[in-house]
Amino acid sequence: MSEQPDWRSRYPFDSHELLIEGLQYHYVDEGAGAPVLLVHGNPTWSFYWRELIQGLRNGHRVVAPDHIGCGLSAKPAPGEYPFTLARRIDDLRTLIESLDLRDITLVAHDWGGAIGLGAAVAMPDRFARLVLLNTAAFRSRRCPWRIRVCRTPLLGRLAVQGLNLFARAALRMALHRPERLEPEARAGLLAPYDSWRHRTAVYRFVCDIPLRPQHPSYATLAGIEAGLAGLSDRPVLLIWGMRDWCFTPHFLDRFCDFFPAARVVRIEDAGHYVVEEAADVILAHLREFLARPAPVTQ
């Protein structure tokens, strides 16, 4: 039997844990200086940020949590945790307050946009800059059929939790050039999601997309959307993989409506997993962005 690729060599970070209502909330905390908070989406985890963590930790304190049910955090059953957007935001706020993070630069991808911006709307005095990559934090009825199928109670759950098709398919469909993803990266992205129970959060994230007002997370998302105007005085950097079939350029245009002064970086040959395809380019833009003075938050 061939050996599995050594993904751990690509994740050379000390683990930290915060206990939130009896559940272990794992995070990476590297370097020192003004904090950069990296918030991942679904079905990734803090491993997704590994190149940015290593590239920024010499001049910044880089914090990257794993949402409950994801990465190296606890993997509760549905009855042990609500798996809602509101709770995800509360978890992140608890981490921010526990570490007393201030003058934060938020870097968020996929679901991390709604979660991270939800925290920023709730505690704007702690956030100095916003960096958003292929994400959304506002209401939309746009949801690709490939995602809608995964939301179905029986077929979708079997595909996502039973066969791990959502995370496995993302290794191809979330990249414009999937052949360039190294075996160690593939192994690392899949590593935490190795059983039915360990894939609970992956399925519940898909189900938590609030497309209609009756959805339990719809009001939460509407509140975040309403609060974006209060963050419009922050420096904003929008970095977009333009070959993303899920968070298409339409979502980039919507963020430009909310943040008309934002700097925009369009990466034409990258898909949804834009950091996997363009880490060096993103790091260059991040370093330049972070070097600029930010307004003092009150």
Higher pLDDT, 150 or 239: 239
Residue 260: cis peptide before it, omega within 30 degrees of 0? no
Bridge-partner residues for 131, per DSSP? 107, 237
Average the pLDDT over 250-269 and give the result: 98
Going by pLDDT thresholds of 50, 70 and 90, the confidence category of residue 153 is: confident
Q: Would the pTM count as exceeding 0.75?
A: yes
pLDDT at 1: 41
Residue 188, C-beta contacts closer than 8 angstroms, at least 6 positions apart:
7, 8, 10, 11, 47, 50
Mean pLDDT of 147-171: 90
How confident is the model over 58-75, as a mean pLDDT?
Answer: 98
Structural domain boundaries of the chain? Answer: 11-291
- pLDDT at residue 210 tops 60: yes
Residue 263 has pLDDT above 80, yes or no: yes
- Residues with Cβ < 8 Å from 77, sequence gap 6 or more? 197, 200
CA distance 128 to 190: 33
Average pLDDT over the chain, rounded to an integer:
95
Q: What's residue 207's pLDDT?
A: 93
CB 209 within 8 A of CB 41: no
Architecture per CATH, 11-291:
3-Layer(aba) Sandwich (3.40)
pLDDT in tens, 212-235: 999 999 999 999 999 999 999 999
> Would you state the pLDDT for residue 226?
98
pLDDT > 50? residue 93: yes
Answer whether residue 101 shows pLDDT above 90: yes
Give the separation between CA 4 and CA 140, rounded to whole angstroms: 40
What is the pLDDT, as a whole number, of residue 294?
67
Specify the pLDDT at position 152.
85
